[in-house]
Homo-oligomer: A and B are copies of this chain.
Amino acid sequence: MEHKTDRPDAEVTAGVIVIGDEILSGRTKDANIAYIAAYLTEIGIRLKEVRIVADEEDEIVGAVNALRAAYTYVFTTGGIGPTHDDITADSVAKAFGVPIDVDERAVALMRQRFDPSRLTEARLRMARIPEGAELVDNPVSMAPGFMLENVVVMAGVPRIMQVMLDAVTPRLRKGRKMLSRTVRVDQPEGDVAPGLRRVQDAFPDVQMGSYPFFEEGRLGTRLVLRSIEIGRLEDALQAALRMLEEEKFPSFELIDET
């Protein structure tokens, strides 16, 4: 049974903080942003901002404090492993001004995987949880993430981040899902722009974006229409398709989003 106090109509927003020098140096290609973005859209949470910051305490503290004040939720990835450069948990504790220590609940979870001889000082770093945080389960490698107020701290390894996101999702407030329709037009964006602006003016409550692409030596445009109201979205889509016909563009098609 859902609680009506969850205010299902209010917009629920999020920021993401990706922590990792390896992304900033270009050695590693981030695999988490696109996954989290699509996941949040699917459950009705609107991702408003992403920051990628270095493994440096000041940078992490600054980003956490900026984003937790601005958005309903903040999700961090990376920097919760066992090595000296894993400083996310301590930095989040600092951002909130709360103590942090090895958490017995986290140790108990890790004992399911590691016998006492392998539960080294380095591994116990992964059980450091800020005071007041709730754990987020990690069935893959046991060392948990955590949620402190509106900040969810997850691993950077994609497979582990993904199970943590699944684990925390039931605790999150969700908004209404943003729906979208995409039309591919084999015409440069500049040709499509005037007509699209007319459709936008007629449907100011439907978000419309155009995204140029360059494929096989030719420029084309994807038009994307977005709304939480299916009726308005379909009406705007029909208006956009009529506009494309009236402009006599030789080739366009509604494409599925998967």
Interface residues of A in 60-90 (CB under 8 A from B): 81-85
> Which one of A27-35, A94-102, A166-174, A232-240 is at the interface?
A27-35
- Is A192 positioned at the interface, with any CB of B under 8 Å from its CB? yes
Contact with B along A15-29 (1 / 0, CB 8 A): 000001111111111
Stretch at the interface among A2-10, A128-136, A205-213, A243-251: A205-213
Q: Are B25 and A47 in contact, with the CB atoms below 8 A?
A: yes
Are the CB atoms of B27 and A180 closer together than 8 Å?
Answer: yes
A257 on the B face (CB < 8 A): yes
Nearest CB of chain B from residue A111's CB, rounded to whole Å: 14
> Is A50 a contact partner of B51 (Cβ separation < 8 A)?
yes
19 additional A-B pairs beyond A84-B208, A157-B213, beta carbons within 8 Å, are A23-B37, A24-B37, A24-B47, A25-B178, A25-B226, A26-B34, A26-B37, A27-B38, A49-B52, A49-B59, A50-B50, A81-B210, A82-B190, A83-B196, A83-B197, A118-B190, A120-B193, A122-B194, A141-B188
Q: Provide the A217-238 mask, 1 if CB < 8 A to any CB of B, else 0.
A: 0010000101000000000000
